[in-house]
């Protein structure tokens, strides 16, 4: 029997028109966009399908938009009889994973992530924080180089995405210095990211404090499907652990590579990226070349995924 993990993307995966094709063809998907619109008091369909890219790119809009699109796509997968055995999401995507596991209602999640986006955006004044992706260098060597730049300010690993790719975050001057050192030490590529704040660094602890107040209002349930946490790459034990992990997640490194390895350890052989983009699929390919990897973001990818998974189920 194959074991399926649904994985959900985070901020940066958004694009204009995401979810439109699926929503226009499946009522269960359109219903999710309607529910998000009603909860937030904004036209989520207009924002995602035909809105302004600048408006969609605002963190407090991006986060609920990606969550809504991801859950709309998941509902169609469930309609087609495909349900995950385990789930995880990159940063923001962890909220989609928690919705998929019924640990949190969709309405609560979409409301929380809108505020989460606002808190993260406001945590550091514009221009004072930055992020950069480092390619082609061992993660331990990256950490050593960051220590050499720490005299210029806070600079920390933000995402351990896959072998040979680490994202760093911190004060702009410290990031610039770290990037120079990393190039000198042999990093294959160093790329500044177009983000508005140094996500997943200690500079965002204030955002975590504000988020804590919002999470107090949320009812968490026991998970029906296991969820792997970004913070420690472990399966979340129970509903009482969720809130602290979500608070810590804002200012902690995302252990994505280790999270994928945890799911593989638990027998996962099939990964389905559910949501806009294919970034997570590319990370999984670099982590495990033997895994079967699919993505669902439009009708073509949906049909291909369903066909492939059904064929594999019939062969077992």
| Catalytic center residues | 91, 200
* Contact predicate 171/129, CB 8 Å: yes
- At 133, which CATH number? 3.30.70.250
The domain of 154 spans 129-195
C-alpha to C-alpha distance for 142 and 68, rounded to whole angstroms:
35
N- to C-terminal Cα distance for the chain? 6
pTM for this structure?
0.96
Whether residues 112 and 243 share a domain: the answer is yes
**pLDDT of 180-227, one tens digit each?**
999 999 999 999 998 878 999 999 999 999 999 999 999 999 999 999
Average pLDDT, the chain: 96
Whether residues 9 and 137 share a domain: the answer is no
Whether residues 118 and 135 share a domain: the answer is no
User: Which residues 6+ apart lie within 8 Å of 45 measured at CB?
Assistant: 23, 30, 33, 34, 37
Whether residues 94 and 142 share a domain: the answer is no
For residue 156, what pLDDT is reported?
Answer: 98
Residue ending a domain, among 178, 195, 212, is 195
Choose the weakest-confidence range: 48-52, 77-81, 85-89.
Answer: 48-52
Mean pLDDT over 284-309 rounds to: 96
- At 102, which CATH number? 3.40.366.10
**pLDDT of 28-55, one tens digit each?**
999 999 999 999 999 999 999 997 888 9
For residue 312, what pLDDT is reported?
Answer: 78
Task: State the total domains in the chain.
Answer: 2
**pLDDT of 241-271, one tens digit each?**
999 999 999 999 999 999 999 999 999 999 9
Whether residues 219 and 112 share a domain: the answer is yes
Whether residues 11 and 60 share a domain: the answer is yes
Per-residue pLDDT at 314 exceeds 80: no
């Amino acid at each position: 029997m194959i074991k399926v993990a649904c994985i959900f993307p985070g901020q940066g995966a958004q694009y204009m028109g995401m979810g439109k094709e699926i929503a226009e063809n499946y009522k269960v998907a359109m219903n999710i966009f309607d529910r998000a619109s009603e909860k937030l008091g904004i036209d989520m369909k207009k924002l995602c399908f035909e809105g302004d890219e600048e408006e969609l790119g605002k963190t407090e809009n991006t986060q609920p938009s990606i969550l809504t699109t991801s859950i709309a796509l998941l509902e169609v997968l469930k309609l087609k009889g495909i349900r995950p055995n385990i789930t995880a999401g990159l940063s923001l995507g962890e909220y989609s994973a928690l919705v998929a596991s019924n640990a949190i209602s969709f309405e609560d999640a979409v409301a929380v992530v809108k505020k989460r986006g606002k808190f993260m955006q406001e945590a550091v004044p514009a221009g004072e924080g930055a992020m950069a992706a480092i390619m082609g260098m061992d993660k331990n060597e990256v950490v050593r180089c960051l220590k050499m730049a720490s005299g210029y300010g806070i600079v920390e690993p933000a995402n351990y995405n896959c072998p040979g790719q680490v994202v760093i975050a911190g004060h702009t001057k410290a990031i610039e210095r770290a990037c120079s050192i990393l190039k000198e030490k042999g990093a294959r590529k160093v790329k500044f990211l177009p983000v508005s704040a140094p996500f997943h660094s200690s500079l965002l602890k204030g955002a975590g404090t504000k988020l804590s107040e919002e999470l107090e209002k949320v009812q968490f349930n026991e998970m029906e499907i296991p969820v792997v946490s970004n913070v420690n790459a472990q399966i979340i034990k129970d509903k009482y652990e969720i809130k602290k992990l979500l608070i810590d997640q804002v200012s902690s490194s995302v252990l994505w590579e280790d999270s994928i390895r945890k799911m593989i350890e638990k027998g996962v052989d099939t990964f389905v990226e559910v949501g806009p983009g294919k970034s997570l699929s590319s990370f999984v390919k670099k982590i495990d070349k033997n895994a079967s990897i699919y993505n669902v973001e439009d009708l073509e990818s949906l049909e291909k995924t369903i066909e492939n998974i059904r064929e594999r189920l019939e062969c077992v």
